[in-house]
Amino acid sequence: MDARIVTVAASGSESETVLARSGNLVVFIATAPADIAAAQRLRYDVFYREMAATSSPEMAASGRDFDRYDDYCDHMLVADTSKRDANGAPLIVGCYRLLRSEVAARHGGFYTSGEYDISAMLARGGPDARYLELGRSAVRAEYRTGPVMQFLWRGLVIYLLRHEIALMFGCASLPGIDPNDLKRELSFLHHFHAMPPEIRVRARPELFVDMNLMPKEAIDEQEALRELPPLIKGYVRAGASIGDGAVIDHQFGTTDVFIYFPVSRIDPRYIAFFKRRSG
């Protein structure tokens, strides 16, 4: 039995490691290399085996998705303590990679800056701004349900409160690399959920893909919302807005959009509830 997650999952109270628990599920921040490796295996299963992203030989040999950011990001994991993986540890069923601004400043910046020009956004906040980049979200197929997604959000909100984060941002993906196949979803995000012009983040010029592919009046809002991936749908429902221009990610076979989500847009009742839960 691998004690690294078992100890966390069996803990009787929340701590700096354990963020929340619900029934057999526990959400926590990884503290051991084996935890991060479990998240990387889940990411590989979702991104490369399920979604057919293009793997490097090194990743294929290890069955893990990894890059340099893994070494200094926080990794938020969801474990199902009622099930075991091949190593005998509780099964990791969801993960998020979290990069705080003060950590990014020490390690060369944010992953998102490879696709979007975020320099003005970062400068606007000043040197003491507390920002959080969200990335590498993956959930095991059979756990992609409303309750599990909400549980991921519950852990994320508690993390935001503990670190006094003011703004979340990052790239989120739609499956496929042909914008014409995604014209309704991209146009919906462009017309109905765009960032205000005066602060709008824009895709890097050499990567920019126009999202305005349909006139606003031709879009069925409810149908477009239904077609969005669950993660992006959750973001816009919760109050996030979208940057200008999409980016094609050929490695992952996706079309990326920029997510801009001030914490102030989260329902204050939701924040108050988790403040009480997290102390």
189's enclosing H/E stretch is helix 183-192
Q: Is 78 within 8 Å of 148 (Cβ atoms)?
A: yes
Instruction: Give the model's pLDDT for residue 1.
Output: 31
Residue 18 amino acid letter = V
Instruction: Give the model's pLDDT for residue 41.
Output: 97
Instruction: Give the model's pLDDT for residue 26.
Output: 94
Q: Is 99 within 8 Å of 109 (Cβ atoms)?
A: no
Instruction: Give the model's pLDDT for residue 15.
Output: 53
Strands 18-22 and 202-203 come out as: unpaired
Q: Give the span between the Cα atoms of 40 and 179, in whole angstroms.
A: 29
Instruction: Give the model's pLDDT for residue 274.
Output: 66
Q: What is the largest CA-CA distance in the chain?
A: 58
Instruction: Give the model's pLDDT for residue 127.
Output: 79
Q: Which CATH number fits domain 3-278: 3.40.630.10, 3.30.465.10, 3.40.630.30, 3.40.190.10?
A: 3.40.630.30
Instruction: Give the model's pLDDT for residue 269.
Output: 76
Q: Give the span between the Cα atoms of 1 and 88, in whole angstroms.
A: 5
Name the stretches of the chain with pLDDT < 50.
1-3, 6-14
Strands 131-139 and 167-175 come out as: parallel
The pTM is what? 0.90
Instruction: Give the model's pLDDT for residue 123.
Output: 92
Strands 241-242 and 25-29 come out as: unpaired
